[in-house]
Amino acid sequence: MLALDDAGQRIIRHGTSYVLEAAEERVDAFRFRAICAQANSTSHGGEFERAIGLLRDALSLWRGPAIQDITSPTLNAEKSAWEEAKLRAVERLVTLEFARGHHSVMIPDLHAWARQYPYHEKLHCHLAEALHIGSRTAESLQVLARLRATLRDELGIDAGQEVHELESRLTGRPGELTAPVDVPVNLQAVEALQRALTETTRALQLLQILTG
């Protein structure tokens, strides 16, 4: 039945076995790669909304881990490469959405990605930042606390500098790796500083997109 399909695929004999030959546009992985390349080109041209749509189309092609349920030392490197490509697309999408001020829109996606990648500090920081900007700072701090506990309990390591700095910014305490000490703070000044830092972050992200 596959051999009768004239839409870019065929079955051929290869030694004592058979091989399915398929055009790249029939393979999700290759379609994903092509759409991501188109999204990068589009964003460099300043069409950010179109690039966002393309990246969402590319990520929608994923229905589980790459090369799932296949045990093959030969394919392990390929599996890692495709997973890294997916993460790059996710991070690019978050950068574009945040630069457009769409933090709240990204919260459901970021929750899902944080569950999928429980050790990925940057994704958890993105989720915490989006929650904070949506006036959900308590939930934001819980995200970072769970991440630190997961890294400590399951991997025996401490969270990185980015996590500590974001946690310090959200609590209004000076950034440091040791346990923070409660000090009197001017809440209005802290909130004004947090708003300024958020706007600066958006501007830097947009500049990064424009300069490639």
pLDDT level of residue 74 (50, 70, 90 thresholds): confident
Task: Say if residue 91 is in the same domain as residue 168.
Answer: no
Provide the residue range defining the domain that includes 38. 1-99
Q: What is the mean pLDDT of the chain?
A: 83
Task: Say if residue 83 is in the same domain as residue 154.
Answer: no
> Total structural domains in the chain?
2
Q: Is 120 exposed, middle or buried (0-12, 13-18, 19+ CB in 10 A)?
A: middle
Task: Say if residue 120 is in the same domain as residue 95.
Answer: no
Model-level pTM? 0.72
Last residue of a domain, one of 35, 67, 99: 99
pLDDT tens-place string over residues 44-66: 888 999 999 999 999 999 988 88
Q: Which residues contact 56 (CB under 8 A, 6 or more apart)?
A: 93
- pLDDT for 106 equals 95
- Are 83 and 67 in contact by the 8 Å Cβ rule? The answer is no
Q: Which of 160, 189, 187 is nearest to 175 (CA)?
A: 160
- pLDDT for 20 equals 83
Last residue of a domain, one of 99, 127, 147: 99
Query: What average pLDDT does the segment 120-132 reach?
Result: 95
Q: Is 14 exposed, middle or buried (0-12, 13-18, 19+ CB in 10 A)?
A: exposed
Task: Say if residue 75 is in the same domain as residue 127.
Answer: no
Q: What is the CATH number for 182? A: 1.25.40.10
- Are 199 and 192 in contact by the 8 Å Cβ rule? The answer is no
